[in-house]
Amino acid sequence: MLASLIGGIFGTKNERELKRMRKIVEQINALEPTISALSDADLSAKTPEFKQRYNNGESLDKLLPEAFAVCREAAKRVMGMRHYDVQLIGGITLHEGKIAEMRTGEGKTLMGTLACYLNALSGEGVHVITVNDYLAQRDAELNRPLFEFLGLSIGTIYSMQGPSEKAEAYLSDITYGTNNEFGFDYLRDNMVFSLAEKKQRGLHYAIIDEVDSILIDEARTPLIISGQSEDSSHLYAAINTIPPRLRPQKEEKVADGGHFWIDEKQRSVEMTEIGYETVEQELIQMGLLAEGESLYSATNLSLVHHVSAAIRAHFLFQRDVHYIIHDGEVVIVDEHTGRTMPGRRWSEGLHQAVEAKEGLEIQPENQTLATTTFQNYFRLYKKLSGMTGTADTEAAEMKEIYGLDVVIIPTHRPMVRNDQNDLIYLNRNGKYEAIIQEIMNIRQQGVAPILIGTATIEASEILSSKLMQAGIHHEVLNAKQHEREADIIAQAGSPNAVTIATNMAGRGTDIILGGNWKAKLAKLENPTAEDEAHLKAQWEQDHEDVLQSGGLHIIGSERHESRRIDNQLRGRAGRQGDPGVSRFYLSLEDDLMRIFAGDRVVGMMRAMGLKEDEAIEHKMVSRSIENAQRKVEARNFDIRKNLLKYDDVNNEQRKIIYSQRDEVLAENTLKEYVEEMHHEVMKGVIANFIPPESIHDQWDVEGLENALHIDLGIELPI
């Protein structure tokens, strides 16, 4: 109440921030006539001038208006694009170490060039972090002409890159790469045997693109460098025969003869008493457990670990939902993006258990050589910033964990997308049939392109099959078709296009209404000016036809656990003032409804006696779904917070060890270093048995002699 009253009088915090930044934008705009009058040579010469002024003590904040004006003018000349005022506000936000929330299609990539240019003037390096190699490469090449015109070097890091090439990329003024690659390079740098082998030159300033995906969705993902441990594949194969003979308990704490209870919210399993006894008998028959021995004795903990992994593999992890089989290997599917993650493996024996379930070759378990989390890696940067289309729902977490404020950047043109109420059906089949009918209705009314968002590969394939039966041509974009991702997304805005995409596949690529004529031109061999003119004219006609049909239609086939990911799907439509429509189709069988929505809603809908093809559209149900999503978001936040709390202890130890390691590597000779350590250890041992300022009667001379002999191998009569 008080907060809304203060907001009404003084404006919200976001409004006050925007008001302050608009004054800086006015300063930048006032410089435009002067900067525009400079020749190309004089404009390029501004960079060394700014560097000199910075070295002479002028702050980056003081240089900002001039530097932004220079960057904008250079972009106008080199790229044919001029930064809007809202992009200048976004650039200021990034420079100040905050998160800029900017709607899809408003030009985040161009906005990022401003903060990159200004912060590169310090000479300490800027890291631009993206979610995949394709976007890192694309953005680096897109911005290369601009930065090179301004006299700055630009590099890209990627996996399997040669050491000298990677070192050179890190020495560039601006370095592009993925979160994984930056994180793994940090770990690898702390495993080298000489300082000269290190690649990173300090963590000064980072701009994270799709910051919500990396700092929230990926926060729990540990970065692990591992080596092989002993092979126990025979054990996984043997224990894999047990889960098919077990059955889950229907309700928690209600004994019904079930062997284990599945907690879908926590993605864990817990065995019942009957389950323990059954598994013990199975293991005894296999000769893996001695008669009369308990499964839970200390010597059998590895068996418990194997059994738990096997049950989870069989009952919690589904093929084409959580993983796919590719070239005889289990490849994880990222639940947030729908992308495959080749090379990544689940830990704690889960990956081996899934391999055993699928009858594949079981790879040896790995032992961890170095590890950190994204949460701790990114907090090592002196200054951190990010940009995304959706971060406001997680603003509290961004502030609490990373100390990052979220600033919502206004759109360049008003947003006119029509977000319609959810439709809820009794079961999945009714929902899928309604989606097909809606696509046919849209087709009859015009040429509007349609994007269908699904939560799993399985759902995308069911819808694809139904569209084929209805004779509707369409494209499918899921983890199995990721190689064609850019092509499919480029043309997803074409007239009559129907595209099915899992979650946020294609993030970072705008869907242009009418299709992408430049992508078509790039595919032609030796295109002529006539080809270009023809494709452009065709696109203009298609663009107009799509606008007249209401723009891109978004159909969500399921609500995600996070409202933010639903908003990202909606955000594909309505870019830069374009029209668009979005609606979610749900069913009582959807995971979110089944696990989290509450019995009252489900009971109410069943009591209404709805038929399969009938839907309910009610604010109470929509509110219940949003409340369910809030519950899940709060639970996931607590998990991430607790993970960080425990990892903070490891992180402090990691920082101390890495710091001491660097000291050792920096020494020419270790003689003094070892002598000092020896002196400190001896002091500590002596103090334990002969405390400082103690009297002779308190001395434990015999204990000291024993300690020196046992711990240090020194025979010394005292």
Domains and CATH numbers, the chain: 10-225+375-408 (3.40.50.300), 235-364 (3.90.1440.10), 418-639 (3.40.50.300), 671-712 (no CATH)
First vs last C-alpha separation in the chain: 74
* Cα→Cα distances 699→240, 243, 682, Å: 60, 61, 16
- Are 456 and 323 a contacting pair, CB within 8 Å? no
* Cα→Cα distances 642→225, 532, 638, Å: 23, 56, 6
Angle (CA) 18 20 22, round 5°:
65
Amino acid 114: pLDDT:
98
- Cα(214)–Cα(208) distance, rounded to whole angstroms? 8
* 80-84, 552-556, 638-642, 654-658: segment of lowest average pLDDT: 638-642
- Residue 407: helix, strand or coil by DSSP? strand
Tell me the per-residue pLDDT of 309-319, one tens digit each, with 9 for 90 and over. 999 999 999 99
- Cα(708)–Cα(713) distance, rounded to whole angstroms? 6
Amino acid 506: pLDDT:
54
φ, ψ for residue 385 (rounded to 5)?
-145, 170
Task: Give me the helices (H) in 379-415, please.
Answer: 395-402
| pLDDT-based confidence at residue 1 (cuts at 50, 70, 90) | very low
Count of residues for the chain? Answer: 718
Whether residue 601 is predicted with pLDDT greater than 80 in this model: the reply is no
- Cα(47)–Cα(670) distance, rounded to whole angstroms? 44
Amino acid 518: pLDDT:
83
Amino acid 572: pLDDT:
87
* Helices and strands in the chain, H and E counts: 28, 21
- Cα(554)–Cα(561) distance, rounded to whole angstroms? 18
Amino acid 5: pLDDT:
46
- DSSP annotation of 420 reads P
φ, ψ for residue 584 (rounded to 5)?
-105, 135
Task: Give me the helices (H) in 56-178, please.
Answer: 60-78, 85-95, 108-120, 133-149, 163-171
- Cα(549)–Cα(572) distance, rounded to whole angstroms? 17
- Cα(26)–Cα(18) distance, rounded to whole angstroms? 12
- DSSP annotation of 392 reads G
Tell me the per-residue pLDDT of 118-169, one tens digit each, with 9 for 90 and over. 999 999 999 999 988 888 998 999 999 999 999 999 999 998 888 899 999 9
Whether residue 2 is predicted with pLDDT greater than 70 in this model: the reply is no
φ, ψ for residue 524 (rounded to 5)?
-75, 145
The residues pairing with 387 across neighbouring beta strands, listed in sequence order, are: 100, 209
Looking at residues 564-593, what average pLDDT do you find? 87
- Cα(170)–Cα(126) distance, rounded to whole angstroms? 9
- Residue 340: helix, strand or coil by DSSP? strand
* Tokens at 662, concatenated: 């660097």
Amino acid 690: pLDDT:
85
Q: Which residues contact 412 (CB under 8 A, 6 or more apart)?
A: 84, 86, 87, 106, 107, 576, 577
Percent of the chain past pLDDT 70, that is, above it, reads 93
Whether residue 291 is predicted with pLDDT greater than 90 in this model: the reply is no
Average pLDDT, the chain: 87
* Segment of 36-40, 296-300, 395-399, 670-674 carrying the highest mean pLDDT: 36-40
Amino acid identity, residue 135?
Answer: L
- Are 95 and 115 a contacting pair, CB within 8 Å? yes
- Are 573 and 451 a contacting pair, CB within 8 Å? yes
Pairing between β-strand 99-101 and β-strand 383-388 as defined by DSSP bridges = parallel
pTM above 0.75, yes or no: yes
Looking at residues 382-390, what average pLDDT do you find? 91
* Gyration radius from the chain CA atoms: 30
Burial of residue 643 (CB within 10 Å: 0-12, 13-18, 19+) is: middle
| pLDDT-based confidence at residue 183 (cuts at 50, 70, 90) | very high
- Cα(250)–Cα(423) distance, rounded to whole angstroms? 29
Q: Which residues contact 413 (CB under 8 A, 6 or more apart)?
A: 576, 577
Tell me the per-residue pLDDT of 420-476, one tens digit each, with 9 for 90 and over. 988 988 889 999 999 999 999 999 999 999 999 998 888 889 999 999 999 999 998
Tell me the per-residue pLDDT of 314-340, one tens digit each, with 9 for 90 and over. 999 999 888 999 889 999 987 766 778
| pLDDT-based confidence at residue 485 (cuts at 50, 70, 90) | confident
